[in-house]
A and B are shown apart, each in its own frame.
Chain A
Amino acid sequence: DTGVSQNPRHKITKRGQNVTFRCDPISEHNRLYWYRQTLGQGPEFLTYFQNEAQLEKSRLLSDRFSAERPKGSFSTLEIQRTEQGDSAMYLCASSSTGYANTGELFFGEGSRLTVL
């Protein structure tokens, strides 16, 4: 098990372009989370899935953001018509739902987005 994997690790794009990030969680983990983190701030909750169902989405999240987890395994986060304010580190995390689950989130290394 190699942990949570995210790619690309870095993405530079021009304002107005669309970008997509992929997250592969730890294989036995049912829950998958997306967060956004900017310098000096904690991770900001965006959305989470349990299996393929998207259970909650932040009310602060623009309609330009969409996430999917079609088969309950990997997930994608797409940002349409990017804006400079979207520049941030996008973190994916996964957790298990088993009996011994503590609620711990296991984070990937993140995908850094720079919008020019």
Chain B
Amino acid sequence: QKEVEQNSGPLSVPEGAIASLNCTYSDRGSQSFFWYRQYSGKSPELIMFIYSNGDKEDGRFTAQLNKASQYVSLLIRDSQPSDSATYLCAVVPNTGGFKTIFGAGTRLFVKA
């Protein structure tokens, strides 16, 4: 079982729609959860982090965490063509250290 699993996609949504990206993780004791965006040929950059169960909103982005189900999601409202990228879910597992483990990423295409 991979430590962090994501559907590789691609996920295609029309402009203005809501894009929903999902991620599951294996270490039940994980405490920190992140979503990074990676444009083609570029390095990852942080979009959001979440530590507690529930929802966290930042502009058009909402991160959702359910520790009981070991599930993290990212919603992108009013999707724009500029949101087309790979979205990486990342988790800091409860190993006593600070390494961050990434999923394989989900490719998102927003059609104009």
A residues with a Cβ closer than 8 A to B are: 31, 33, 35, 40-45, 48, 50, 55-56, 91, 95, 102-105, 107-110
B interface residues, tally (CB under 8 Å): 25
Chain B residues, CB < 8 A from A108: 43
Which of B36, B42, B98 is A31 in contact with, Cβ under 8 Å?
Answer: B98
CB nearest to A107 among chain B residues: B43
B45 on interface, CB distance cutoff 8 Å: yes
Say yes or no: B49 contacts A102, CB within 8 Å.
yes
B32 on interface, CB distance cutoff 8 Å: yes
Which of A42, A55, A110 is B97 in contact with, Cβ under 8 Å?
Answer: A55
Chain B residues, CB < 8 A from A103: 32, 34, 49, 92, 98, 100
CB nearest to A102 among chain B residues: B49
Say yes or no: B34 contacts A50, CB within 8 Å.
no
Central interface residue in A31, A55, A105, by most chain B CB within 10 Å:
A105
Say yes or no: B100 contacts A33, CB within 8 Å.
yes
Contact with A along B8-38 (1 / 0, CB 8 A): 1000000000000000000000001010100
Question: A103-B32, A104-B34, A104-B49 in contact; A43/B98 too (CB < 8 A)?
Answer: no
Say yes or no: A56 contacts B43, CB within 8 Å.
no
Sample (18) of A-B pairs whose CB atoms are under 8 Å apart: A33-B100, A35-B102, A41-B105, A42-B4, A42-B6, A42-B103, A48-B98, A56-B97, A91-B43, A95-B98, A102-B49, A103-B32, A103-B49, A103-B98, A105-B46, A107-B43, A108-B43, A110-B43
